[in-house]
Structure 1
């Protein structure tokens, strides 16, 4: 004999709604809202790029394709990376940190200088030399890149 079970429509709708809610929320379990975007500096690889010794083809083989380049006021490659955070999976991401690794080349195509710019108290900051750049063309370029390049509204 089979038991005679009758389910009312409101109970069926409530159970279906609870099941749908549980399925929707299960995607949020274990969600880590922090992620990286762009170039993330690998210190071991960067240590292989030596000032005065490494040329452009070697730097390209070690570091990969730069995010952008500049030929104004000298030849430089820029590798841009960001740390992003998102409270919930469906919320917009917000940038929490940004770094720009700059490799400057001399006229002969050798690495002249390496700088790792980041944000420190809202100002462009070189983490390698631990100085804040002074007036000139480069800080303005980097400041504009840091503040406006990845601004999404």
Structure 2
């Protein structure tokens, strides 16, 4: 019986340590942005897409319209206990090109420069939503003609 209080203390202290560890914030880094020293070596009007990819690496993403630019994105997200993850840092380096593929501009954006874009959730209605597979299969009986099977 003399050993029970010591074990109970150990269990309580261990439980408190687990609770404190569960409440500490965890940080996760995502993406890549080239350092300022490497960006300083880029010459606007001289360097091309290929030289950029070779010198500082391939971008996180590129422009969707006529390959307008390279975008390097880095973010830091904080996960804290039961709360939803929160993005606390974001850095975007945008390198834009002209029609010849030569660097036109280099810009740097932060989290404070961003805008929230509301996504619209549109759903396309379907005529088969309320029909089971068997009902759809049996519904096709009588709709076939001989010309459907002859080439």
Task: Say yes or no: TM over 0.5.
Answer: yes
TM-score (norm 2): 0.59
> 2 CA distance for matches of 1:51 and 1:118?
22
CA-CA distance at 1:102 after TM superposition: 0.8
1:109 maps to 2:101: yes
Aligned to 1:37: 30
Return the match for 2:75 from 56, 76, 82: 82
Higher relative contact order (CA 8 A, sep 6+): 2
Larger radius of gyration: 2
TM-score (norm 1): 0.58
**Aligned length in residues:** 119
Contact 1:78–1:102 (8 Å) recurs in 2:
yes
Aligned to 1:24: 18
Unaligned runs of 5+ in 1: 1-5, 124-142, 149-153
For each residue in 1:40-88, what CA deviation from the matched residue of structure 2 results, as whole angstroms up to 9, or x when unmatched? 3410011111111111121012221211111415521111111333445
Contact 1:74–1:106 (8 Å) recurs in 2:
no
Aligned to 2:126: none
Unaligned runs of 5+ in 2: 120-151
Please report the RMSD computed on the Cα atoms of aligned residues, expressed in angstroms: 3.4
> 1 CA distance for matches of 2:28 and 2:61?
22
